[in-house]
């Protein structure tokens, strides 16, 4: 099926036309069965092909239908969102209309109040001028007139007062604009000063933290200077180490049989005069002849308290 048109299966040949009339009936039957099987197979193949094409068309239209359904649902959702936004805007318009009506009423009330104040101001201005004229006339010797305000004077002065009111309103508006600009400049300068102060504080804070960290690292890696007591103790201990005998294999005391009396007495006095270490020593040298040819060491070689190298036998 292509475009809704179903193809017709191929026509089959009649059995009588496909068989020869001179051939016996028993010899014509196998050929007829073979042609019949071939025609049946071709028809089945044709029908299967058409069915597969129909299924493919159905799947394609099914995909189009699902896509259209999805787009329709998205359109409905967008329509609902627009309706909700429209309702919100309508409510906002209603609120704004009510506020506009209130502002109009307030404006009308202020206009009536302004008109009443203008009339009062004109009346007071006319009265002031009449009082000024009466005061001037009294100073010149003219009898003062009655201070009762007249209607023509009020009407004649109303135009002047209205002009003065307009000029005064214009000056007031100009002063108000000037004050507003001055306040704006002052606020801008204040914000700038506040920003500079904040930056300065942050800079000082960073410098303080830097100095603190620097001092901490300096105290951490700085070598401590030893005091005078420690220096004296260390020098005394080093001097004691130099004077003491700390090697266990150094020269020691000799046996009494090898020393003369005079030499032993001098050695005894020298031993008392020199400070020795508490490390134990040998009573006599291990091999005296290998280091010195004499049997006895001189006193100035052994008992001075310093270290003397002595060979050790292997």
Residue ranges covered by each domain of the chain? 1-8+25-149, 244-314
Nearest CA to 249 among 296, 197, 309, 292? 309
Q: What length does the chain have?
A: 314
The number of C-alpha atoms within 13 Å of 194 and in the hemisphere containing its C-beta is 6
Whole-number pLDDT of residue 83: 94
Q: Please give the backbone phi and psi of residue 5, each rounded to the nearest 5 degrees, phi first.
A: -100, 130
DSSP state of 257: G
Whole-number pLDDT of residue 72: 95
CA angle 283, 288, 291 (to 5 degrees): 130
Burial class of residue 61 in the structure, from the number of CB atoms within 10 Å of its CB (0-12 exposed, 13-18 middle, 19+ buried): exposed
Whether 267 contacts 259, CB under 8 Å: yes
Distance CA 128, CA 153 (A): 12
Report the b/e string of 66-103 with b at 16+ CB within 10 A.
eeeeeeeeeeeeeeeeeeeeeeeeeeeeeeeeeeeeee
User: Which pTM was predicted?
Assistant: 0.27
Whether 149 contacts 189, CB under 8 Å: no
Sign of torsion, CA 205 210 213 219?
Answer: negative
Whole-number pLDDT of residue 165: 75
pLDDT digit string (tens) for the chain, length 314 residues: 444 454 555 554 444 444 444 444 444 444 555 666 778 888 899 999 999 999 999 999 999 999 999 999 999 999 999 999 999 999 999 999 999 999 999 999 999 999 999 999 999 999 999 898 888 866 555 454 444 444 444 455 666 667 777 777 888 888 888 888 888 888 888 888 988 999 999 999 999 999 888 888 888 776 555 555 555 555 555 554 444 444 455 555 555 554 444 444 444 444 444 455 555 555 555 554 444 444 445 555 556 777 777 777 76
- DSSP bridge pairs for 5: 2
What's the chain's Rg over C-alpha atoms? 67
Whole-number pLDDT of residue 222: 66
């Amino acid at each position: 099926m292509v475009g809704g048109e179903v193809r017709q299966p191929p026509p089959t040949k009649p059995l009588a036309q496909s068989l020869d009339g001179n051939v016996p009936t028993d010899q014509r039957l196998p050929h007829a069965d073979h042609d019949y099987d071939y025609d049946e197979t071709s028809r089945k193949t044709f029908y299967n092909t058409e069915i597969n094409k129909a299924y493919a068309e159905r799947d394609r239209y099914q995909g189009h239908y699902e896509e259209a359904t999805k787009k329709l649902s998205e359109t409905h959702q967008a329509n609902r969102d627009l309706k909700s936004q429209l309702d919100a805007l309508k409510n906002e318009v209603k609120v704004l209309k009510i506020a506009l009506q209130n502002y109009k009423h307030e404006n009308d009330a202020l206009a009536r109040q302004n008109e009443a104040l203008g009339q009062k101001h004109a009346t007071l201005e006319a009265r002031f001028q009449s009082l000024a004229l009466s005061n001037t006339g009294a100073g010149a010797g003219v009898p003062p007139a009655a201070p009762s305000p007249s209607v023509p004077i009020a009407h004649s002065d109303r135009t002047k007062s209205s002009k003065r009111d307009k000029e005064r309103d214009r000056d007031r508006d100009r002063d108000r604009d000037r004050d507003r600009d001055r306040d704006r400049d002052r606020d801008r300068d204040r914000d700038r000063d506040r920003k500079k102060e904040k930056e300065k504080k942050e800079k000082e804070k960073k410098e303080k933290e830097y100095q603190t960290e620097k001092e901490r690292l300096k105290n951490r890696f700085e070598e401590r200077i030893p005091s005078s007591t420690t220096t004296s103790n260390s020098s005394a201990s080093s001097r004691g180490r130099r004077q003491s005998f700390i090697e266990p294999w150094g020269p020691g005391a000799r046996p009494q049989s090898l020393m003369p009396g005079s030499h032993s007495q001098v050695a005894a006095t020298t031993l008392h005069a020199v400070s020795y270490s508490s490390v134990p020593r040998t009573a006599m040298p291990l091999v005296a002849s290998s280091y010195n040819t004499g049997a006895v060491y001189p006193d100035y070689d052994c008992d001075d308290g310093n270290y003397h190298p002595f060979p050790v036998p292997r």
